[in-house]
Amino acid sequence: MSLALATLLYEWKRYSAAMAALAFSGLLVLAQVGMFTGIVHGITASIDRSRADLMILAPKNESLVNSGPNGLPERIQPQIYLNPQVVQVESLDGDGARWVNTPAPGKKAVITYVNTFDVDPTPNAVTLPTDYPESIRLALLEPYAVVLDKTAQNRLGTHLGAAASLNGKTVHVRGLLENYPNVDQPTVYMSRDTMRLLGMGPRNGKTGPLMVRLRDPTEAAAVRDQLNATAKGGYKAWTKPELAAANEKALMGEQIIGIFLAFSLFLGLLIGVGITSQTLRGAILASIKEFASLRALGVSMGSLAKIVLELSVWVGVAGLVATALFTFGVYLLASKFGLPMGFPIPWVVTVVILLAVISILSGLFSLGVLKKSQPADLLR
C-alpha cells in the first residue's frame, strides 16, 4: 500500500473536511440534475411507462418537451399498421381544461388550468401505463372518472372521491396515482371516453403523438428505420429510450436550467477547491517533519509532490464515494415525498470529472507547502 493511501486510511478524520467538501460539491450538482431530470420524468411518465415500443411524433419535433405543436394528421395512424410488425397503434391525446374544485365550507374555490391526458383502460392497451394498478384501470372505466397524482391533491384542492368541474362538467376523483408528479401544471388523467364526453381530445383531424406496440419489442430499432424510410416527411418514429434521452436533453438545454447547472458546477468547483486544498495543506503541514526527514534521506522534492498528488487523488475517490452515498440519501428522501429523481449518465460522468478536477487542483495548490519541508530545520 502506498504512503498516500495508508495515510488517508489511517488519518481519515484529518481529511474528512476535504471529503465532505467534495461530496457536497458533487451533491450540489447531482441533486439539481436529479431534480430537473425528475421533472422531465414526471412530464413524460405516461410515455416512459407505457407499453409502447415506438413513438410517432410530428416530423419536426425534436422531443416532447417544449418542442412546439406535436399533433399528427389522423391519416398517419392507419399507415403505421402497414408494417407487419405493428400490433397496436393508439394516440396519446393531451388537452387542457379549466379545473374548479368543490371547496370545503368557508373556503375559496381553486380555479386553475390543468393538463389532461387520456388513457385507454382496456386491459394491456398500449397507452395504459404498466404501473397503473388494476384498481385505477377499473376506476377509469366509469364515465366522468378522473385520476391524478397524490401530490396534486393539495394544489387542486381535492381528494379521493371528491367532485370537481372540468370545463364546466362534473367529474369525480376516483383514484390517486404515485410517481406522476408534475411541476408546472397539474395533470389529470382520464379514459378516452371521458375525454370525449368532456368535449376534449382530437379535433380538426389531428391526433396526439402515436404509441406503437410491436410483435417483437427487440425489433424496435429496425421497425423504426422501416417506418422512417416510408414516412415521406409526414412523421418521425422514435424508440422509447431515444425519446427519453431527447426529452432529458431538451430540458437540460433550456437556457435557464443550463445556466443553473453551469453556475452550480462553477460554485462546486470553487467551494470544493477552496476547502479541499486548505484541508490538504493543513494535513501536509501536520506531517511536514516526516516529509522533511524523507528529504534528508534523499527523497527528491518531485517524489514528495507525487505523494501529495496521489493523496489528493485518493481524497477525490473517497469524496466520490461520499457523493454517491449522499446523493442516494437525497434520492431516498425525495422518493419518500413522491418526488422522482433521475441521474443521466452524462451528468454522472460530468460530476466524476468535476470531483477529479477539484481534487487534482487542490493537490496542485497545496504543493507549495512542501517547500517548508526543509530537512535542515530538523537539525535544531
Stretch near other proteins under the rule CB under 8 A, chosen from 69-77, 219-227, 256-264, 295-303: 295-303
Q: What stretch of H or E contains 214?
A: strand 210-214
Using CB under 8 A as the binding rule, whether residue 294 contacts other proteins is answered as yes
- List Cα–Cα distances, 52 to 89, 125, 182, 227, in angstroms: 9, 9, 21, 15
E-only strand ranges, 92-183: 94-101, 111-119, 145-149, 163-166, 169-177
SS3 (DSSP) at 213: strand
For the CB of residue 305, give the shortest distance to other proteins in the complex, in Å.
Answer: 13
For the CB of residue 374, give the shortest distance to other proteins in the complex, in Å.
Answer: 8
Q: What stretch of H or E contains 237?
A: strand 236-239
Sole binder of other proteins in the list 303, 321, 333, 368 (CB under 8 A):
303
Q: Which is nearer to other proteins, 229 or 297 (CB)?
A: 297
Given the DSSP bridges, would you call strands 169-177 and 94-101 parallel, antiparallel or unpaired?
unpaired
Stretch near other proteins under the rule CB under 8 A, chosen from 89-97, 197-205, 241-249, 298-306: 298-306
64 neighbors 70 (Cβ within 8 angstroms):
yes
For the CB of residue 182, give the shortest distance to other proteins in the complex, in Å.
Answer: 53
Sole binder of other proteins in the list 289, 326, 348, 365 (CB under 8 A):
289
Sole binder of other proteins in the list 128, 295, 342, 367 (CB under 8 A):
295
Question: Where in 9-28 is the site for other proteins (CB under 8 A)?
Answer: 9-11
Q: Going by C-beta distance under 8 Å and a sequence separation of 6 or more, which residues neighbour residue 207?
A: 71, 72, 73, 74, 76, 77, 91, 93
Rg (CA), the chain: 28
Query: Using CA atoms in the order 297, 303, 305, 310, what is the torsion angle rounded to 10 degrees?
Result: -120
Sole binder of other proteins in the list 161, 184, 298, 371 (CB under 8 A):
298
For the CB of residue 286, give the shortest distance to other proteins in the complex, in Å.
Answer: 9
SS3 (DSSP) at 82: coil
Phi, psi angle pair for 224, to nearest 5°? -55, -45
For the CB of residue 311, give the shortest distance to other proteins in the complex, in Å.
Answer: 11
Stretch near other proteins under the rule CB under 8 A, chosen from 38-46, 191-199, 296-304, 321-329: 296-304
Residues 359-378: x where in contact with other proteins by CB under 8 A, - otherwise, as a string? ----------------xx-x
Using CB under 8 A as the binding rule, whether residue 225 contacts other proteins is answered as no
SS3 (DSSP) at 189: strand
Residues 27-66: x where in contact with other proteins by CB under 8 A, - otherwise, as a string? ----------------------------------------
Residues 244-283: x where in contact with other proteins by CB under 8 A, - otherwise, as a string? ----------------------------------------
Q: Which is nearer to other proteins, 14 or 150 (CB)?
A: 14
Q: Where are the alpha helices (DSSP H) in 230-300?
A: 240-253, 255-286, 288-296
Using CB under 8 A as the binding rule, whether residue 296 contacts other proteins is answered as yes
80 neighbors 86 (Cβ within 8 angstroms):
yes
Nearest alpha-carbon partner for 72 in 236, 240, 250, 239: 236
Using CB under 8 A as the binding rule, whether residue 379 contacts other proteins is answered as yes
Where along the sequence are the contacts to other proteins (CB under 8 A)? 1, 3, 6-7, 9-11, 287, 289-290, 292-301, 303, 375-376, 378-380
